[in-house]
Amino acid sequence: MLTLYHAPTAVCAAKVRMVLAEKDLAYEGHLLNLHTGDQFKPEYMKLNPNAVVPTLIHDGNILIESTVINEYLDEAFADKPLRPAGALGHAHVRLWTKKEDTIHDAINTMTATIIFRHELLQKPPEERAARYAKIPDPAKRAKWEKMMADGLDAAVVQEALVRFIRHFRDMEKALGKGPWLVGENFTLADSGLLSFFYRLEFLQCAGLWQEHFPKVTDWFVRSKGRTAFQTAIAGFIPQGDQEKYAGISAPLWPKVKAVNIKAMSTV
C-alpha cells in the first residue's frame, strides 16, 4: 500500500505524483496545506523532519526526498521502467536527477520572490517573522528573509537564473541526440523536471527557454502531451489559480527578463 503526503501545487510532490501516474500506481493521498503550516505539525514532522512534502509511506516504511522516492518507486515497481536497464543507464539518469535538486532551489527562489513575497508582504511583520522562524534549516531561513526584503533584486535571483541557463544549455545539447534527455525513452530525468518547468510557465517565465532554447521548448510541449502530466501536475492546480497568479507574475516578467539578460552575460 502506498500513501503520499503531498500538496496540490508543490513541485516536489508533483514530481512523485508524475512517477506514480507514469507507472499506473494507485496511492492514498493526504493533502497538506502548506500556507497554513500543516508541514510544521509535530505529527507530520515525525514522518518528515525537514517539514516539507512529499513523504511516501510504502508498507509502513517512510521515504522522504522526491528524487530518492522516485528511484525507490522505479526499483520497487519494476513494471514500466523509467530508467534504461543496467548500472550505466541508471548513472546517466542520476546525473540529471542530481542536478534537478539544485534546480529545485532555483525554482523555489523564483516562486518565493514572485508570488510568496507578494502574499507575505500583505501580512503584518510579526506574522511574517513567525513564518520564517518555523523553517528548520538556518540557511533556508536566511535566504527567505533576504528574498522577502529584496524581491527580484536579491542576489539569489540572478544566481537562480544562471543555474537555469546552464541547465537549459545542457538540455539543449542532450536533446540534440535523442527525443528525451537520456535517449529514446522518457525517463526519471525528464519526469523530474516537468513540474519545475510548469511552475516557471505559471510564473509567466516561459520566455527563459522559449526565447533561447528551441529543443527545450519542443521537449516541454511534448512532455505536456503525456497523459500522466495532466493527471499528476496540471490537474492538481486549483481552479482560478492560473488567472490569479498570472495577474501577479505577468507585470514582473520584464524585470525577470532584464536580470536574465545580465545573468546570460556572465555564463
Please report, as ranges, the residues that interact with ligand GSH according to CB under 6 A: 10-12, 34, 39, 51-54, 65-67, 101, 104
Nearest to ligand GSH of 65, 71 (CB atom): 65
CB of residue 21 to ligand GSH, shortest distance in Å:
17
In the complex with ligand GSH, the residue whose CB is nearer, 26 or 133, is: 133
Instruction: Please give the full DSSP string across 62-126, using - where no structure is assigned.
Output: EEESHHHHHHHHHHHS-SS-SS-SSHHHHHHHHHHHHHHHHHHHHHHHHHIIIIIHHHHTTS-HH
Q: Which residue is nearest to ligand GSH (CB)?
A: 52
Q: Which is nearer to ligand GSH, 104 or 175 (CB)?
A: 104
Q: How far is the CB of 17 from ligand GSH (least distance, A)?
A: 12
- Select 15 or 175, whichever has its Cβ closest to ligand GSH: 15
Minimum CB distance to ligand GSH, residue 11 (Å):
5
User: Please, which residue, 12 or 110, has the CB nearer to ligand GSH?
Assistant: 12
Determine contact, residues 40/95, Cβ cutoff 8 Å: no
Q: How far is the CB of 54 from ligand GSH (least distance, A)?
A: 6
Select 6 or 92, whichever has its Cβ closest to ligand GSH.
6
Nearest distance from residue 255's CB to ligand GSH, in Å?
Answer: 24
Q: Could you tell me the smallest distance in angstroms from the CB atom of residue 69 to ligand GSH?
A: 7
